[in-house]
Chain A
Amino acid sequence: MLSQQDMLEAERHGRQVRSIYVYEAPVRLWHWINALAMVVLAVTGYFIGKPLPTVPGEAAENFVMGYIRFAHFAAAYIFAVGLLGRIYWALVGNHHARQIFKLPITNPQWWSEVFFELRWYLFLEKTPKKYVGHNPMAQLMMFFFFTVLAVGMVFTGFALYSEGAGLGSWQDTLFGWVIPALGGSLQVHNLHRLGMWIMMTFAVVHIYAAVREDIMSRQSLISTMVSGWRMFKD
């Protein structure tokens, strides 16, 4: 009964639903694992810098900071390995998988679409455009506030981790140079924390834009990151 009603309604509106496969399974899986890792990293990271109130009892019976730091490091490894896997997939996956890693900055058409999107977000355009992958504005934001920042967080993060791992550890060999380069351990701690705030601010924008565009634009957004298919509404 209901489906009949739906079909009738669809027919009445004359809408043609088409879809394109955009995000392959590894990209989708990475997106959600990465999102979860980021939540864990931000929460535990906040409490590493500003710890929870003192716990009562014997020191030997408690391990609050220990567990918080463990969760942070475990999530950090997942984040870092995930990022490596995502870079690999950018090389072997479809061309949408490369979007957040390289910007077509020499293409004037792309830039004009960036400004079109900017006008769309400023309510200066009435009808949005259709995009199969990210819209150019989203791509630009994603590149700087996720890709570049994520690499920065991995470098500063592993540099800080190397302080505990010790001189000569692989973390120290690969990332230890970051600490004197950025002006000392405390400065790296502070910049790493600032990076967390920027990334969380970006996450808020990202989620808002995804929900808004899912409603307002002419294509699906959120379900695309679950199923992989981009549905066009008209």
Chain B
Amino acid sequence: MTETFYEVLRRQGITRRSFLKFCSLTATSLGLGSAAAPRIALAMETKPRTPVIWLHGLECTCCSESFIRSAHPLTKDVVLSMLSLDYDDTLMAAAGHQAEAIIEEVKKKYKGNYIVAVEGNPPLNEDGMFCIHGGRPFVEVLKETCADAKAIISWGACASYGCVQAAKPNPTRATPVHKVISGKPIINVPGCPPIAEVMTGVVTYMLTFDRIPELDRQGRPKMFYGQRIHDKCYRRGHFDAGQFAEAWDDEGSRKGYCLYKMGCKGPTTYNACSSMRWNGGVSWPVQSGHGCIGCSEEGFWDKGSFYNRVTSITPFGAESNADTIGKAAAGTVGAAIAAHAAVTALARARQKAGESATEQQGEN
């Protein structure tokens, strides 16, 4: 039996007072209310820690960078203890065969009872040779490790949707985790990277309640991805009023007007940035004056310009958007109609002339 979270925390010199503070903060950040704080505390005092194996595929480690900066729940070292992060080749001290042995050990010891967190995704082209993990294709390691897992967390846009390495033409055939692994609950936590507190919030929820959070149609936790950036944006008032920044240096931009016309993807992006913000609540993209780029949406690299709302429609080629296609179609049809009307008028005039000629002949 592994230690409980509480035992680990106390062993590391964290006071009970700090522990209870952490429980109530976690309850609040999960939107559960104060009544849930004692339940979290109880769970952490009694439940053994669930081991987590954190795998890295094709990625940039921005998810890890974000994760270790989580402010609530608590500081990074506590979070790391809480997790029982048994394997993470970026953060762990061990390396080589010694490190790889841990995966095997966890798989045997906690069969069906550990969580696999995946950062990045497996490339499938050339038998997966574009990403090698411990001398083997990452896709093999991923499949093996996930085989006995309780649940899988797909960290970031890479694992959830493919992100930049899966952008067209996707030379390595980078593939999101849920398209490689089946038969296991998979939680998508998209974003490039996801917000630190969202990441720790998802983990805390799973460890505390021993179940995966409620997911939406795209496998994302509803509590963090249930609403759009736009729905909670503090500039929403300017949107509804019709007040927009029209250039990066204009009056509207200085006054903090809505960045919709500058291509902000807030209205089409599901994430918690506008409510939780970044870096412990210091700021977030829109607050710093740049529109959302929609990094937590599927295929955001292939959706056209970051600085336009009416963007390219992929089947019609990279440079065509609804307006260019529509105007071209309407213009062509309009011109065709004008020409058709002219020909009709001519034909009719000729026919009329013919008719009156025959009529006159008849009268005569």
Contacts and interface: CB of A to CB of B under 8 A. Distances in A.
Contacts, number: 142
Interface residues of A, number: 49
A53 B297 contact: no
Given A59-B241, A194-B313, A185 B297 contact: yes
Contacts of B322: 49, 190-191, 193-194, 196-197
A136 interface: no
A166 B222 CA distance: 11
7 contacts: A50-B309, A54-B245, A123-B347, A167-B226, A197-B323, A198-B326, A212-B340
A15 to B, nearest CB: 13
B241 A66 contact: yes
Interface string B202-246: 000000000000001110001000111001000001111111111
Interface of B: 216-218, 222, 226-228, 231, 237-246, 252, 257, 260-261, 265, 267-270, 294, 297-299, 303, 309-314, 321-323, 325-327, 329-330, 333-334, 337, 340-341, 343-344, 347-348
Interface of A is mostly: helix
Interface of A: 49-55, 58-66, 68-69, 121, 123, 163-164, 166-167, 176-177, 179-180, 183-187, 189-191, 193-194, 196-198, 200-201, 204-205, 208, 212, 215-216
Contacts of A58: 241
Contacts of B260: 51
Contact of A176 (B217, B237, B243, B313): B217
Contact of A51 (B237, B244, B330): B244
A198 B329 contact: yes
Q: 5 tightest CB-CB pairs across the interface, nearest first?
A: A197-B326, A64-B242, A185-B268, A193-B322, A62-B241
Contacts of B226: 166-167
B261 A65 contact: no
Contact of A185 (B269, B329, B340): B269
Most interface-central of A49, A66, A184 (chain B CB within 10 A): A184
Contact of A183 (B242, B261, B298, B310): B298
B313 A208 contact: no
B303 A193 contact: no
Nearest to B334: A204
Contacts of A196: 322, 326
